Structure 1
């Protein structure tokens, strides 16, 4: 089959859907399929098919759109900055896809509601459309507004627009895939997408690649006499690290035989660093920046922590589990589907700083329990995150979608 993996998000990129797309491409090509990767540009404003070196700069498309969709012709488009931004992006995506040509693809497999809605409008009738929804833009907006104590956000035009994106985007494909029941339920219950639209199964992890990266080692060394708590994450509010810092402050008051490695980058980095120094743990928390050696860092760690506000099925948890680490996580999103409380890790409510600190303290204090949870996590993760099983399931969905045309 000729398959196009498409996304609105920028590719190549260190986070987000890019690792998933690469992993899926490799697995499908090993079975003889042809796979192209389409998405936004990371540097220049463009859409491109990455593996072919084909691109279309937005400067060739935007003037046409801006002339046709001016404020007089499309007043609702100009009611809110973000509405205009995302609609212009969607139209750019549609025009770019049409420019590159979609007629030779048997399957278009999108990775978000924006690209799904766009591709449904411009693909050929014989081409099946499969969508992966990796998270909820509208729900993330809602959570951010709640964190900022804005009780009127549902009256905003942006909220109504995001709701419509989720509803129509998630329903525009022949089959829509979610990796967690949590996300499927959100889309069904909160965004009125028909339940029969969905197929739900977990991601897989390329263990061979993980251990290959791990074998290259790292230049970071665990300090003598200290256990390592590791948190690989994008440094954004949605990842909940602003809860981790005060939890570590509480932990420091009870014991000091630990360090915390935070591996990642993002817009909250400086703020989080200042927060750590302000509460007296600046020397105990190392901000390692964006790393290519996280698999090797995990082998030196003792506890994995992920205090997210919202998450679907993060790869960082998968990597921690096959590394044999107990996971201390929040109950956000799909995390409880990944970590069994008191078996493969410990789960607390989002933002519960006291319990988060207590969970870390408990695992630091009980070596045997920590080792047993880590062993259970390794056994479960090794069996559960099978990349071959994931590829097989995607091919089954492709065949099901193709039979609809």
Structure 2
């Protein structure tokens, strides 16, 4: 099968999943064409059956504002026609599904191509529900031949917010490569961060307000009083100063390390003892899954799609959003006793591998593509009329 994939190529869960999906499909014999404004950050320089098509922007005074959506549609049309693509798989409803619909309309009868849209979260829970974007988000979903969501939670959100019939959305969860996220694959760099006997506690995010980074520091501050530890932050974003300020106010600046954005998160996770993810909301929780695949127990908020990933009391502990005390209690319970940590670590690795491993999830995408290309479900899912 020939599949075009469009995603945001920068750091972020949707881009990482889209890229890993393309790589895995290519390894299974499919021809993959990435279409974006830059090469996805997780895409190697060369892979057999993998191609990259850059969307170049037109710089002209008339186009004072970003014209990426139209430029993307033009390249999608060109690639689909020239390469005879079977599927345009876009990640995010807007603007990617909108651009794919324009490309399909341009193709007309010259070449039939199916649009599969994967909903990742922000396009549904935040941007899409803005008044100015609601109609076009709904329209773009409607014009997709197939719709997938990364969690049952996100499916429910889409059905409720956009009045989409539930049976038009297929839940195909995010996935992880157990070979990439393996503690045995990498040398441990704990000595670069820790003193003897200390535990390495990790947080990975884009430091947006929804990630509640102050709560990360507060949970850690209570934990480190009971279990000698250091907190390592990976990533960057607008709320990084908030985390720095919280560490200063709590007097633990010397125990908190900020590494910024890192290409090899798996290598650092292989050293970690615990992952803290107290988010206000997560559509799935890919970071939690990657940590679990690395044998890292997770302390998380009971929000969004996270309960679908983390098994409370088995692969980590969950608590209500903002309940710092409960999260700290869970962290202490896991890290204070080596045997308890080993049990949680083994369960986390096993759950990630068996339920969300590449070998389990990629065939589900293949079967879904086949259904869509064959014409099922219907080419234009009916929507409940808007008010």
For the criterion TM > 0.5, the same-fold answer is yes
Cα distance change on mapping 1:331 and 1:93 into 2, 3 Å:
same
Cα distance change on mapping 1:53 and 1:185 into 2, 3 Å:
closer
- Maintained 8 Å contact 1:137/1:162: no
Partner of 2:194: 222
Partner of 2:383: none
Partner of 1:20: 17
- Maintained 8 Å contact 2:55/2:72: no
Partner of 2:56: 57
- Maintained 8 Å contact 2:222/2:328: yes
Structure 1: where are the runs of 5+ without partners? 44-49, 67-83, 143-157
Cα distance in 1 for residues equivalent to 2:184 and 2:53: 29
Partner of 2:323: 352
The CA deviation at 1:230 is 1.4
* Aligned residue among 31, 39, 57 for 1:34: 31
Partner of 2:93: 113
Corresponding position: 1:122 with 2:103: yes
Give 3-state SS (helix, strand or coil) of 1:380's partner. Answer: helix
Structure 2: where are the runs of 5+ without partners? 41-46, 380-387
TM-score between the two structures when normalised by the length of structure 2: 0.83
The CA deviation at 1:102 is 4.0
Cα distance in 2 for residues equivalent to 1:58 and 1:353: 46
The CA deviation at 1:309 is 1.7
Partner of 1:324: 295
Cα distance in 2 for residues equivalent to 1:42 and 1:27: 17
| Worse overlay, 219-228 or 317-326 | 219-228
Partner of 1:242: 214
Residues 110-150 of structure 1: CA distance to partner in whole angstroms, max 9, x if unpaired?
100111122112213511111111113352369xxxxxxxx
- Maintained 8 Å contact 2:234/2:258: yes
- Maintained 8 Å contact 2:13/2:286: no
Give 3-state SS (helix, strand or coil) of 1:210's partner. Answer: coil
Corresponding position: 1:276 with 2:256: no
Cα distance in 2 for residues equivalent to 1:52 and 1:338: 32
Corresponding position: 1:365 with 2:345: no
* Aligned residue among 216, 229, 238 for 1:267: 238
| Worse overlay, 298-307 or 366-375 | 366-375
Cα distance in 1 for residues equivalent to 2:232 and 2:103: 46
Cα distance in 1 for residues equivalent to 2:227 and 2:184: 31
Q: Following superposition of structure 1 onto structure 2, how do residues 78-93 of structure 1 map, counting pairs within 5 Å?
A: 88-93=67-72
Cα distance change on mapping 1:63 and 1:105 into 2, 3 Å:
farther
The aligned length equals 360
Give 3-state SS (helix, strand or coil) of 2:36's partner. Answer: strand
- Maintained 8 Å contact 1:330/1:347: yes
Cα distance change on mapping 1:209 and 1:247 into 2, 3 Å:
closer
Partner of 1:154: none
| Worse overlay, 387-396 or 220-229 | 220-229
The CA deviation at 1:388 is 2.2
Partner of 1:2: 2
| Worse overlay, 296-305 or 339-348 | 296-305
* Aligned residue among 155, 177, 186 for 1:184: 155
Cα distance in 2 for residues equivalent to 1:96 and 1:177: 23
Give 3-state SS (helix, strand or coil) of 1:207's partner. Answer: coil
Cα distance in 2 for residues equivalent to 1:267 and 1:194: 36
Cα distance change on mapping 1:172 and 1:65 into 2, 3 Å:
farther
* Aligned residue among 156, 163, 170 for 1:199: 170
